[in-house]
Chains A and B, each alone.
Chain A
Amino acid sequence: MPVVDRQEWDVVVVGAGGAGLRAAVEARERGARTAVICKSLFGKAHTVMAEGGIAAAMGNVNAGDNWQVHFRDTMRGGKFLNQWRMAELHAQEAPQRVWELETWGALFDRTKDGRISQRNFGGHEYPRLAHVGDRTGLELIRTLQQKIVALQQEDFRETGDYESRLKVFQECTVTRVLKDGDQVSGVFGYERESGRFFVLEAPAVVIATGGIGKSFKVTSNSWEYTGDGHALALLAGAPLLNMEFVQFHPTGMVWPPSVKGILVTESVRGDGGVLRNSEGKRFMFDYIPDVFKEKYAESEEEGDRWYDDPDHNRRPPELLPRDEVARAINAEVKAGRGSPHGGVFLDVSTRMPAEVIKRRLPSMYHQFKELADVDITAEPMEVGPTCHYVMGGIAVDSDSAAARGVPGLFAAGEVAGGMHGSNRLGGNSLSDLLVFGRRAGWHAAEYASGAGAARPRVDDAQVDSAAAEALRPFSAESEEPDDGPPENPYTLHQELQQTMNDLVGIIRREHEMERALEKLAELRARARRAGVEGHRQFNPGWHLALDLRNMLLVSECVARAALERTESRGGHTREDHAAMDRAWRNVNLLCALADPADGLTDGDPVRGRIALTRETTEPIRPDLLALFEKEELVKYLAEEELYE
């Protein structure tokens, strides 16, 4: 086996987006020597693509806002499936996390009296999103990046070494979490640049790898979103929660084909943009579900008045939660009222002056002008649903972000499950990263310092088998020649994306998901023969071959859980079970490896690798339930839950 470089750290953070960097800052400030592993260059993570803002009930624009209102909105958006303690902590702590960014140098857009401005967004009762034009994610990542540099400068002054207490490993991928007995002992990974393997030994590992969108064909997600952290946790023995809930953002670009799926920010609607079908009708008024009837405008006139007088009018239905808007667009297109390229029209050009559009939505103006030759100040955009976010993820303890069942493993951000229930509200992602990134870093540091002298040991056999697994794509041709010819990883990836898009997409049907599972079994078998040419130095074919393992595992979780849940709720819509069912309200679906001993091998490709279990959720704490009207609760909660 090749020689593998080893280093010792206290906390290893896998992922360098908003959650990972916030966790790293916290762990380092609490005294842990912290390593951050970054799949791309430092500062390029998918968080840069977040546009609209950070939801935090600071009450700067409407003083009526507070954490209780934010909590209510979050639970409604998630259709009450949220891990309520997470939603509570999130709503309470988000303002502190935003203000803290200012002390690290962030520059948000301002209100007239010099405070942080806040904008309207779908599902949020008050203007709540702290923002910087439509590039809030960039501001967030840059601020955290610069905070990390600031800490490194401090360390340099004290120790003469920038990286003595906090180091960023750029362009590295982790393929295994290593364990000593049931405890975490470190990670195994490779440098993309050189292909060299390395082991970071650490008692605590924080997973913050983001989402899974690259398993779908039409997605707003970047190449990094291959479900790495979800798979790492599964393989390490931690269960995933509610993987059936995948958010399709209602507004992605639909033309030209090469940019299909790229996000069109919800701010377009928050700032006044409207959706129209090919007949010019604002169709969203026809799609307000019963649970939201009292909260949304009945007429265009009322909706339009709301922007200036929100206290006496109700919001327009374009600002319903994302799952509702995505389904409505899907239905309009299916009914033959779509735009020329299979979407609907999103228009700001008739709603505000060109100058205002360019100031408030600069990236959108730029994006459409550059990529589609569309001037959004003069004509409508064409938009349609795009795979955007996974609500499901690693099952965690709400307060500590500790993964269930694996001591020393923590998870934060999109890769963690529970916070958003069945559907995430726009703006709640960036605040989630900050709130739970900090908590994960804090508890990982605490756990690591408790480990003390008895640091878990890295097992050589695990390192050897991880190295063998990573090298297998180079020997695909020589191994198991009877199985079939070597497979092109790019072809396998395209087939996987098409399968998930067509068969486990925005509207789901039982027989299609069964077909998806068969196809996934076939792809799993073929993926064992995924072969690559060339050598290990910056070889994208090899990287993709390794990422395929993760995408296939995660896709199976999504398909199995989606088949199991016979209702429609949030980011899970079944044509054959079209209604939300109160009996499912308190049911979590957990995915785990079918054969836990199978952790370090590939197992039998045909049998399927994931086993599902059902679990009843903890009852919502009475003082939190009391924040809602009884009439609203009866729409969501089962009879027995109401009278407990």
Chain B
Amino acid sequence: MSSYEARFKVWRGDVRGGGLEDFAVEVNDGEVVLDIIHRLQATQAPDLAVRWNCKAGKCGSCSAEINGRPRLLCMTRMSVFERDETITVTPLRAFPVIRDLVTDVGFNYAKARQVPAFVPPEGVGPGEYRMMQEDVDRSQEFRKCIECFLCQDTCHVVRDHEENKQAFAGPRFLMRVAELDMHPLDAAEESGLDRKRAAQDEHGLGYCNITKCCTEVCPEGIRITDNALIPLKERAVDRKYDPLVWLGNRIRRRT
């Protein structure tokens, strides 16, 4: 265990274009890729743009692509690479570059706004909420999401298909719909909002063909596809085609 010099290629540029720049940089015991980017800033490239915050894998700011794979810079240890390997760091591919490793992730904030918020149940005041742990477990798993947007970046529906962005919310926000749909006290249905149908009709759930790429890159280990997207698809399908559900809904609405 000792220091060594690593070779890096870091994408530098802006909306007008750019390219990979070569660096040779010192690496010490236990460091992560973000440490190396910071060392480049402090010693070789003071204006190298990178987003980061907590450096502990909790805020989801330092998302980028390392050797082509979407990852958090702060949770990628240098020890996973060979010492003679050249490490390539590029910005998230699915979003427009602002500068160097910083991209415009506004797409995600726009999509977040399109998901109707939690609807509190009527007649249940603050302090009166009662929910069993086993009933909140599922939504709690989705609320572990740190909004790093790696799943949004890797999802093939939008990764190389800009034209799909309009109609498709992406795994993160389909998971948000699932989270609210599975919330034991969400009163959306009572207020006339069908979250399952909205997932299908308004957030593009149908585009997802469950290749599980999102689950693979999730730094929180959330089983996005298995636990959020597939169940949501099943429920949406039930809702759409099941004549009994259809009839039940008609009857309930009349009362």
Contacts and interface: CB of A to CB of B under 8 A. Distances in A.
Interface stretch (A148-156, A457-465, A496-504): A148-156
Contacts of A43: 147
Interface stretch (B125-133, B154-162, B195-203, B226-234): B125-133
Contact of B113 (A104, A153, A532, A533): A153
B209 interface: no
A44 interface: yes
Interface string A168-206: 001000000000000000000000010000000000000
A565 B222 CA distance: 50
Contacts of B19: none
B109 interface: yes
Interface in A514-549: 532-535, 537-542
B59 A48 contact: yes
Interface string A110-150: 10011110000000000000001101011100100011011
A223 to B, nearest CB: 6
Interface string B108-146: 010011001110100000110111110010011001111
Contacts of A371: 30, 32, 56-57, 75, 77
A99 B41 contact: no
A571 B101 CA distance: 39
Contact of A222 (B55, B77, B129): B55
A137 B56 CA distance: 14
A132 B113 contact: no
B69 to A, nearest CB: 16
A149 B117 contact: yes
B183 interface: yes
A370 interface: yes
A491 B204 CA distance: 49
B118 A135 contact: no
Interface residues of B, number: 59
A114 B61 contact: no
Interface in B43-74: 43, 46-61
A478 interface: no
A211 to B, nearest CB: 13
B57 A104 contact: no
A150 B116 CA distance: 7
Given A49-B56, A490-B42, A540 B48 contact: yes
B32 A222 contact: no
A96 B41 contact: no
Contact of B50 (A99, A107, A258, A540): A540
B102 A370 contact: no
A132 B140 contact: yes
Nearest to B38: A490
Given A113-B130, A258-B32, A534-B47, A138 B41 contact: no
B46 A114 contact: no
Q: Which of B32, B102, B129 has the most C-beta atoms of chain A within 10 angstroms of its own C-beta?
A: B129
B35 A258 contact: yes
B101 to A, nearest CB: 10
Contacts of B146: 48, 138
Contact of B29 (A147, A256, A488): A256
A99 B51 contact: no
B117 A146 contact: yes
B28 interface: yes
A325 to B, nearest CB: 21
A249 to B, nearest CB: 13
Given A95-B127, A107-B136, A110-B131, A538 B100 contact: yes
A490 B41 contact: yes
B118 A367 contact: no
B31 interface: yes
B254 to A, nearest CB: 27
A258 B30 contact: yes
Contacts of B61: 40-41, 44
A538 B15 CA distance: 12
Contact of A541 (B35, B47, B144): B47
A234 B46 CA distance: 29
B98 interface: yes
B105 interface: yes
Nearest to A256: B30
Contact of A46 (B54, B99, B145, B183): B54
A479 interface: no
A138 B142 CA distance: 12
A367 B57 CA distance: 8
A307 interface: no
B143 A132 contact: yes
Contacts of A262: 55-56
16 contacts: A103-B120, A110-B132, A114-B130, A114-B132, A135-B144, A193-B102, A222-B59, A259-B30, A372-B30, A488-B42, A491-B42, A537-B49, A538-B49, A538-B102, A539-B47, A540-B49
Given A103-B129, A138-B143, A258-B30, 12 more contacts: A42-B109, A44-B61, A99-B127, A107-B139, A109-B133, A135-B144, A153-B117, A255-B30, A490-B46, A494-B42, A532-B46, A538-B98
Q: Which 9 A-B pairs have the closest CB atoms?
A: A256-B30, A105-B118, A534-B47, A150-B117, A99-B126, A541-B46, A114-B130, A490-B42, A538-B49
Interface of B: 14, 28-32, 35, 41-43, 46-61, 75, 77, 98-100, 102, 105, 109, 112-113, 116-118, 120, 126-127, 129-133, 136, 139-140, 143-147, 180, 183, 186, 221
Interface of A: 40-46, 48-49, 58, 95-96, 99-100, 102-105, 107, 109-110, 113-116, 132-133, 135, 137-139, 142, 146-147, 149-150, 152-153, 156, 162, 170, 193, 222-224, 255-259, 262-263, 363, 366-367, 370-372, 488-491, 494, 532-535, 537-542
